[in-house]
């Protein structure tokens, strides 16, 4: 799907805006699956569209990219806090 989005980035204004509208939902609904290269592809689509000469697409892509990056960092913070709540074996006192 992300490859199709990337290939459609040169399309018209309506298609570009629909792609940008779909990316945050895609990241939210498939957060566990969008890692590594797939996550990079989603962010790359935003950066490609941010280079658009159309101001509407440019601004929407910038806002979408910011939203995706914030979402990724929120997920990292949540995962870090979950892992810090799990006590390690080293923390238990010997009886």
Q: Where are the domains of the chain?
A: 24-78
- Concatenated DSSP letters of the chain: -HHHHHHTTTS-HHHHHHHHHHHHHHHHHTTTT--HHHHHHHHHHHHHHHT-SSHHHHHHHHHHHHHHHHHHHHHHHHHHHHHHHS--GGGSPP-
pLDDT-derived band at 86, boundaries 50, 70, 90: low
In the prediction, which pLDDT does 22 show?
96
Report the predicted TM-score, pTM, of the whole model to 2 decimal places. Answer: 0.78
**In the predicted structure, residue 88 carries a pLDDT above the cut 80:** no
């Amino acid at each position: 799907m992300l490859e199709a989005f990337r290939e459609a980035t040169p399309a018209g204004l309506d298609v570009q805006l629909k792609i940008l509208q779909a990316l945050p939902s895609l990241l939210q609904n498939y957060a566990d699956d969008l890692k590594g290269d797939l996550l990079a592809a989603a962010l790359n689509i935003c950066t490609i569209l941010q280079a658009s000469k159309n101001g509407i697409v440019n601004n929407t892509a910038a806002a979408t990219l910011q939203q995706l990056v914030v979402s990724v960092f929120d997920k990292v913070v949540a995962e870090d806090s979950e892992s810090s709540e799990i006590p390690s074996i080293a923390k238990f006192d010997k009886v």
